[in-house]
């Protein structure tokens, strides 16, 4: 069941990023979106923020999780809050909610 939860998390993350890139690049080139993506990714890398690692999705490629976290952060706090609620509703069997405050990935 945990693997299914990871697939669901991946699908939600990919959907969120695709929607954001569509708004930033495909409809009309929007400098505000581009700057927010750059600052979000930089912020995540400087502070080593990796939401996917916290959710139990470790990557073999350094910085990928931090860059994706930065893209999610660049959408703003309201979006990130809704994103976390959506993950909570879709993956009730994962015990990652308590780990968000601790900054540690869930123990398997």
Per-domain residue ranges for the chain? Answer: 2-93
Confidence label for 90 from pLDDT (cuts 50, 70 and 90): low
Q: Within 13 Å of residue 92, how many CA atoms lie on the same side as its CB?
A: 1
pLDDT in tens, 8-53: 888 888 888 888 888 778 877 778 888 988 999 999 999 999 988 8
Q: What is the mean pLDDT of residues 55-76?
A: 88
Identify the pLDDT of residue 91. 62
Question: Measured between alpha carbons, how far is 54 from 97 in angstroms, rounded to an integer?
Answer: 9
Mean pLDDT of the chain: 79
> What's the pTM value of the predicted model, to 2 decimals?
0.70
């Amino acid at each position: 069941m945990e693997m299914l939860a990871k697939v669901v998390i991946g699908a939600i993350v990919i959907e969120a990023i695709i929607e954001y890139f569509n708004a930033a690049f495909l409809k009309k080139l929007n400098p505000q979106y581009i700057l927010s993506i750059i600052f979000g990714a930089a912020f995540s890398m400087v502070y080593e923020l990796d939401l996917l690692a916290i959710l139990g999705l470790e990557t073999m490629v350094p910085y990928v999780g931090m860059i994706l976290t930065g893209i999610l952060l660049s959408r703003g706090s309201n979006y990130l809050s809704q994103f976390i609620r959506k993950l909570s509703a879709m993956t009730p069997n994962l015990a990652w909610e308590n780990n968000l405050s601790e900054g540690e990935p869930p123990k398997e």
